[in-house]
Amino acid sequence: MKKLLAALFVSSILLAGCGSGGNTNESSESGSSASDGAKITAVGSTALQPLVDAAQESFTQENPTVQISVQGGGSGTGLSQVSGGAVEIGNSDVFAEEKDGIDAEKLVDHRVAVVGFAPVVNKDVGVKDITKEQLVDIFTGKITNWKDVGGKDQEIAVVNRASGSGTRATFEKWGLDGAEPVQSQEQDSSGTVKKIVADTPGAVSYLALSYLDDSLQALKLDGVEANEKTIANNDWPIWSYEHMYTNGEPKGELAKFLEYMVSEDVQSGPVKELGYLPITSMKIERDAEGNVK
């Protein structure tokens, strides 16, 4: 009798163990898909970073199983990393075709907004409006004192973005007509540039409109101010599309997030609130070669 009871006891343990093991596996699999979710990393343009940051906050609130990490580093970094498969999204201020060493054919372009860029100066230089020619002369070192353009008798301190920056590429192409700027300090981040210009007497640089506030003076060019109206009709030419590139067609949560970026909620919300232009606001279209139609 004791042997029979012992056998029954062992059998019940084995059966319970088998049943528990099966349930554990099922629970683990369903839990993995529910808790881990999708992980998306977006790297690149610091000009685009505030918009993607704002959008991912509201997106992940509605989709709590999705984790989205947004990092800067510049457009060149974003394009290189998404091209190499290191990240899911490469944020860029420039077309992939404009970057050397990038195989643009394998990348898919998702334009999510338009961003304008403006030359900015320390508020104490005493200048608010210059000509396009003067802008080129300042950044190429031909003009070195603010008094030569109607400002204080103060030396000009040029602050550049680092090589590889989409902001720099856009500014040089459309603001400086392709001229090479003078050698000067270079910064990787738009946020750092903003602080340096605000704190440094005589400083001048350039920033996306999304970074402008009362700590800086944005310059007009030939009497034209950078704003939504002047950018939309190309009266202010220093602007670019904000691209979110993927390596091939996106699927699943990645595709869902990119669709959300061009939704009415984002285009009428964070896009406008942060100083970008909705894609639908543009009256013209510009390609990678700069052709306008």
What does the pLDDT look like over 234-259, one tens digit per residue?
A: 999 999 999 999 999 999 999 999 99
Q: Please give the full DSSP string across 205-252, using - where no structure is assigned.
A: EEEEGGG--TTSEEPEETTB--SHHHHHTTSS--EEEEEEEEESS--H
pLDDT one-digit tens code per residue, 214-239: 999 999 999 999 999 999 999 999 99
Judged against a pLDDT cut of 60, whether residue 184 lies above it is answered with: yes
Question: Residues 243, 95: contact at Cβ < 8 Å?
Answer: yes
Q: How confident is the model at residue 36 (pLDDT cuts 50, 70, 90)?
A: low
Question: What DSSP state is assigned to residue 183?
Answer: S
How far is 261 from 68, CA to CA, in rounded Å? Answer: 13
Convert the pLDDT of each residue in 134-157 to its tens digit.
999 999 999 999 999 999 999 999
CA distance 231 to 109: 21
**pLDDT band at residue 210, thresholds of 50, 70 and 90?**
confident
* DSSP-derived pairing of the beta strands 220-221 and 129-130: parallel
Q: What is the mean pLDDT of residues 267-291?
A: 93
Q: What is the pTM of this model?
A: 0.79
